[in-house]
C-alpha cells in the first residue's frame, strides 16, 4: 500500500513500539501533524523545542525506552541542540525528527532553513538527512537501532518536506543492516578471569559505579557481586540508584561534592573496579593523584572510554550486565569467600570510620532560617524515598544527590555531563508521562527553574501532577559559592535581584503554588503538594541565601583535599 512519507514515519514509529512523541509543529512538518491528527500515537505539545528533547530524555531515563521528538525546520531544529547535547553527554537514547526545507532548496538560504545535520554532528551518536523517500523506513529502523544499542545516545533524522509528501510503498524492515556498526557485548573471558584474580588479591578494593550500570540494567548483578565480595561501593552522579543508597556497603557519591568516605576510600584503595563509568574530571579531581595506589579495572561497552582519561590495568570491553554475570560465575567457593571477607575486615572498618568521622551534614540555621538540605531530607522522609527525582543543575542538584537516598535505578534523573540548567522540569514531565501514577519531583534552584518555566503550561494542559521544589536562595548558588571561595566574595552578577512570585506564577499557569520560609512550614507544604493529583505544583522554599555545598574538592586538587563543613 502506498503512503506519504509523513504517514510512513508515523507507521514506522508504531512498528518501533513508540507510544508518545514530544513535539512542536511548524510549516515544514505539517504533513506529519496532519497524520498525527488521526493517529493512536500520543503527542505532547511542548512550549519550547529544548523542552521537548529534555522531556524525551526524562521519559527515556525513567522508562528505559527511547524518547521521540518531532520539530520543524530552522529555529525549531536548532532549539533542540542543547537537549541533544545533554542526552549525548549522558548516553541517553533519544530519536529526534526535524523538518527540513524541500531538497531542491537546501543550501539556498531558504526560509527557516538550517543545516541541522552539520550542527548536530558533534553531539549525536549518528544523524541522517533523508533525500529519497525510498530510504525513509530503512533510515528510521537504523536510527532506533543505533540510538538504543551499544553505548546509547541521541540520533537525529532530518526530513525534507518533499520527502514527507512523496508517495511510496510501506514495508518496514525487520532489522537494521549496518555491517560497520557491531557493538561488542560479550567481555573477553581471559580479561574477566584476570580482573577477578586482581579483585581477590586486593585488600582495599572499591567499586566505582557509573551510569552504565543503570543503562545496562545491571543493578541486581552489581549488588550481588558487591555483597558476595564485601566490596564498598561508590557511585557517580549518573550512577545514583545503581546501588541502593541505604545499603551498608554504600559510601555515597564520589568526586567534587562526594562524601568524605568515598573520596578517602578511592584515594587509598589498592584495587578500583570502575563499572560503566568514564572518569570525568568532576570525579577524578587532580588526575595524577586519582587512586594513586590502585590497580584499575575498567568495564565499559565503549572501547573509546578505556584509558581515555585514566590509564587502566585491566580493561574489559562489553555489556556491563553480561560481564558482571560472568564474574559472578567464577566466584570462589563459600569457604574461600568467608576467608576473603575476614581479610577485608580492616579495610571495611577503616571505611566505616571515615563514614562516622565526617558524615554528610550541615550546620542548623538560626531560628527561623530554612536550610535547603533540610527541605531535601523532608522530601525523602515524606515520600519514603518512593519518588522519581529530577534536578536542575547547581547546588540544588548536589543537595539532591547528597541528602535523598536513591534505592532503585531510574529514580534520579539529572544532567550530569553537560550540566544543563533548565533540564529538571521538562525531564520531570517526561518521566511523569512515562509513569502517570508515580510521584515525580523536580528539585530546582530559583535561577535554573526559570530557564524552562514555560513548560508548566505543558504540565497543566496534560494534567500532569509534577511537583517542583524550588530551593530559592536568590542567587545562582553554585557560581556564588565559587565566587565566595575563589574570588573573595566578589559576587559579580550572581544575585538574582528580581524574581517572580513563584506562587502567583504557578497559579497564573493553572497550577498550584505553595511557599515555606521557615523550617516548621516545610512538612505541611510538602504534604499538601503530594495530595495534588491533577496539575503541577510549585513549592517555593525560601532558604538561607549563602548556604554552601560540602564537602567540596577545589578544582585542581586531589580527592582527599576536601573542604568540610
Length in residues, the chain: 565
Of 143, 179, 180, 177, nearest to 159 by C-alpha is 143
Q: Which helix (H) or strand (E) holds 427?
A: helix 424-434
- Distance of alpha carbon 502 from alpha carbon 395, whole angstroms: 19
Per the annotation, the verdict on 478 as an active-site residue is: yes
For 193, 200, 300, 317, the CA distances from 190, given in Å and listed in that order, are 5, 16, 16, 12
115 Cβ contact partners less than 8 Å away, ≥ 6 residues apart: none
Catalytic residue (choose from 398, 478, 552, 562) = 478
Find out whether 261 and 354 touch, Cβ atoms under 8 Å: yes
Catalytic residue (choose from 2, 42, 111, 528) = 111
Catalytic residue (choose from 161, 223, 321, 378) = 161
Per the annotation, the verdict on 397 as an active-site residue is: no
- Distance of alpha carbon 178 from alpha carbon 128, whole angstroms: 14
Catalytic residue (choose from 15, 112, 308, 485) = 112
Residue 189 burial by Cβ neighbours in a 10 Å radius (0-12, 13-18, 19+): exposed
Find out whether 43 and 36 touch, Cβ atoms under 8 Å: yes
Per the annotation, the verdict on 111 as an active-site residue is: yes
Angle at 35 between CA 29 and CA 39, to 5 degrees: 130
Say whether the peptide bond before residue 551 is cis (omega within 30 degrees of 0): yes
The SS3 call for residue 173 is coil
Per the annotation, the verdict on 161 as an active-site residue is: yes
Catalytic residue (choose from 11, 49, 113, 547) = 49
For 129, 138, 141, 145, 170, the CA distances from 173, given in Å and listed in that order, are 19, 6, 7, 12, 10
* H helix runs in 313-419, sequence order: 320-329, 334-357, 372-383, 395-403
Q: Which residues face 205 on adjacent strands? A: 271
Sign of CA dihedral 304, 309, 315, 320: negative
- Distance of alpha carbon 304 from alpha carbon 320, whole angstroms: 15
Q: Which residues face 158 on adjacent strands? A: 98, 129
Q: Known catalytic residues?
A: 49, 111-112, 161, 478
Amino acid at each position: 500500500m502506498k503512503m506519504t512519507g509523513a504517514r510512513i514515519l508515523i507507521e514506522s514509529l508504531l512498528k518501533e513500539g513508540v507510544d508518545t512523541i514530544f513535539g512542536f509543529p511548524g510549516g515544514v512538518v505539517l504533513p506529519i501533524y496532519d497524520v498525527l491528527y488521526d493517529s493512536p500515537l500520543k503527542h505532547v505539545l511542548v512550549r519550547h523545542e529544548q523542552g521537548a528533547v529534555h522531556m524525551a530524555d526524562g521519559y527515556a531515563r525513567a522508562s528505559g525506552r527511547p524518547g521521540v521528538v518531532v520539530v520543524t525546520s530552522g529555529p525549531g531544529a536548532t532549539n533542540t541542540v542543547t537537549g541533544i547535547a545533554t542526552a549525548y553527554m549522558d548516553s541517553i537514547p533519544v530519536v529526534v525528527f526535524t523538518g527540513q526545507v524541500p531538497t531542491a532548496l537546501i543550501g539556498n538560504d531558504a526560509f527557516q532553513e538550517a543545516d541541522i545535520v552539520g550542527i548536530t554532528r558533534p553531539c549525536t551518536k549518528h544523524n541522517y538527512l533523508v533525500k529519497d523517500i525510498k530510504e525513509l523506513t530503512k533510515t528510521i529502523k537504523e536510527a532506533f537501532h543505533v540510538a538504543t544499542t551499544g553505548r546509547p545516545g541521541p540520533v537525529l533524522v532530518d526530513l525534507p518536506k518533499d520527502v514527507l509528501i512523496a508517495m511510496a510503498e510501506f514495508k518496514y524492515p525487520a532489522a537494521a543492516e549496518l555491517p560497520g556498526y557491531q557493538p561488542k557485548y560479550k567481555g573477553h573471558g581471559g580479561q574477566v578471569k584476570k580482573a577477578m584474580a586482581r579483585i581477590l588479591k586486593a585488600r582495599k578494593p572499591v567499586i566505582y559505579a557509573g551510569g552504565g550500570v543503570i543503562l545496562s540494567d545491571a543493578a541486581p548483578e552489581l549488588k550481588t557481586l558487591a555483597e558476595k565480595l564485601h566490596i564498598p561501593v561508590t557511585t557517580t552522579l549518573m550512577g545514583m540508584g545503581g546501588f541502593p543508597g541505604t545499603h551498608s556497603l554504600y559510601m555515597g557519591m564520589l568526586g567534587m561534592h562526594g562524601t568524605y568516605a568515598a573520596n578517602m576510600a578511592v584515594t587509598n584503595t589498592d584495587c578500583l573496579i570502575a563499572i560503566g563509568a568514564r572518569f570525568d574530571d568532576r570525579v577524578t579531581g587532580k588526575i595524577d593523584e586519582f587512586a594513586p595506589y590502585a590497580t584499575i579495572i575498567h568495564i565499559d561497552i565503549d572501547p573509546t572510554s578505556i584509558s581515555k582519561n585514566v590509564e587502566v590495568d585491566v580493561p574489559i570491553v562489553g555489556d556491563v550486565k553480561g560481564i558482571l554475570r560472568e564474574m559472578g560465575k567464577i566466584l570462589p567457593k563459600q569457604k574461600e569467600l568467608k576467608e576473603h571477607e575476614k581479610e577485608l575486615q580492616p579495610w571495611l572498618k577503616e571505611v566505616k570510620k571515615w563514614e562516622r568521622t565526617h558524615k554528610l551534614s550541615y550546620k542548623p540555621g538560626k531560628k527561623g532560617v530554612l536550610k535547603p538540605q533540610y527541605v531535601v531530607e523532608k522530601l525523602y522522609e515524606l515520600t519514603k524515598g518512593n519518588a522519581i527525582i529530577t534536578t536542575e543543575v547547581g547546588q540544588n542538584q548536589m543537595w539532591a544527590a547528597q541528602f535523598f537516598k536513591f534505592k532503585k535505578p531510574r529514580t534520579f534523573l539529572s544532567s550530569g555531563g553537560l550540566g544543563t540548567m533548565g533540564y529538571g522540569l521538562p525531564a520531570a514531565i517526561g518521566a511523569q508521562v512515562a509513569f502517570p501514577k508515580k510521584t515525580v519531583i523536580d528539585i530546582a534552584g530559583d535561577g535554573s527553574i526559570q530557564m524552562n518555566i514555560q513548560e508548566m503550561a505543558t504540565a497543566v494542559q496534560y494534567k500532569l501532577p509534577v511537583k517542583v521544589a524550588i530551593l530559592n536562595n536568590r542567587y545562582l548558588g553554585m557560581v556564588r559559592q565559587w565566587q565566595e571561595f575563589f574570588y573573595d566574595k566578589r559576587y559579580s552578577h550572581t544575585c538574582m535581584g528580581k524574581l517572580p512570585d513563584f506562587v502567583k506564577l504557578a497559579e497564573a499557569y493553572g497550577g498550584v503554588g505553595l511557599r515555606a520560609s521557615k523550617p516548621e512550614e516545610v512538612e505541611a507544604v510538602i504534604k499538601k503538594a503530594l495530595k495534588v493529583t491533577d496539575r503541577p505544583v510549585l513549592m517555593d522554599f525560601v532558604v538561607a541565601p549563602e548556604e554552601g555545598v560540602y564537602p567540596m574538592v577545589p578544582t585542581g586538587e586531589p580527592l582527599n583535599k576536601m573542604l568540610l563543613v
